[in-house]
Amino acid sequence: MRILMCGDVVGKSGRQAILENIEDLRSRLALDFVLVNGENAAHGFGISEKICASFYQVGVDVITTGNHVWDQREIMNYIDSDPKLLRPINYPARTPGAGSCVFETQAGKKVLVIHPMGRLFMDPLDDPFLAVGNVLAKHTLGQDVDAIIVDMHAEATSEKMAMGHHCDGRASVVVGSHSHIPTADAQVLPGGTAYQTDMGMCGDYNSVIGMIKEPAVARFTSKLPAGRLEPADEEATLCAVLVETDDTTGLAKSVEPLRLGGRLAEAMPG
């Protein structure tokens, strides 16, 4: 299988990068499954039902979120009706929505997506390692599911790397989101799980992690109120990770970064 995971979508420019490129990438790279982290898609804060629908229309298979999942209040009443929109799995049990789900590709392959959120420098949620382990215990890669994808939404690189090794040999891929900066450590771990600490964002990199520079800088240089942060709106770079899995075992054969458009140097997997 060929799986594309796209990093945090930030604002209008990030949405445009997804809407203008996913259909072409699905064809050009012969993709079987596309995941997009959409937690900053609605003007930098959360996601809406309308945005979800627009992503599905161009070929996105599942949308993950993170700590901004509830920023658009409508999502609390919508998320239970949309199994393709995941919130972090380690929220308390009564939280609306789900943090994992098994999806079926057009070719009939079954893909399990698990979406944990870290706790270092983040909200003190339930244990993400226990939550992921409980799901993995119910599924066997290469048997009842053909691929297992983990989007680890976390601040600390150490926590993301720990999740990668925690899942090594049991998941097809563990990739981090949240920090909006693509890391240079794409690799297949010893047990066969593809890994990258952060896939970066789909947004304008002439910014501070996707937000207009001046107010963001002012927050660091002055104690005066700087107002609400607004997304930068120049051309976005679509940052993603392409993973190819073995059809028999479900483990990774390769992992490569993808960068398209905007200010960052282009990287297009062969």
Distance (Å, rounded) from C-alpha 78 to C-alpha 46?
Answer: 13
Q: What pLDDT is recorded for position 227?
A: 75
Could you name the CATH architecture of 2-203+232-260?
Answer: 4-Layer Sandwich (3.60)
Q: State the pTM of this model.
A: 0.95
Supply 113's token pair.
């997506």
Annotated catalytic sites, by residue? 68
Domain-wise residue ranges, the chain: 2-203+232-260
Rg (CA), the chain: 17
- What's the Cα-to-Cα distance from 106 to each of 59, 103, 110, 182, 213, rounded to whole Å? 11, 10, 10, 29, 42
Closest by CA position to 17, among listed 203, 177, 156, 180? 203
pLDDT in tens, the chain (270 residues): 999 999 999 999 999 999 999 999 999 999 999 999 999 999 999 999 999 999 999 999 999 999 999 999 999 999 999 999 999 999 998 999 999 999 999 999 999 999 999 999 999 999 999 999 999 999 999 999 999 999 999 999 999 999 999 999 999 999 999 999 999 999 999 999 999 999 999 999 999 999 999 989 888 898 777 678 999 999 999 999 999 999 999 999 999 999 999 999 999 997
Paired strand residues for 208: 211
Q: In terms of DSSP bridges, do strands 110-114 and 147-153 run parallel, antiparallel, or are they unpaired?
A: parallel
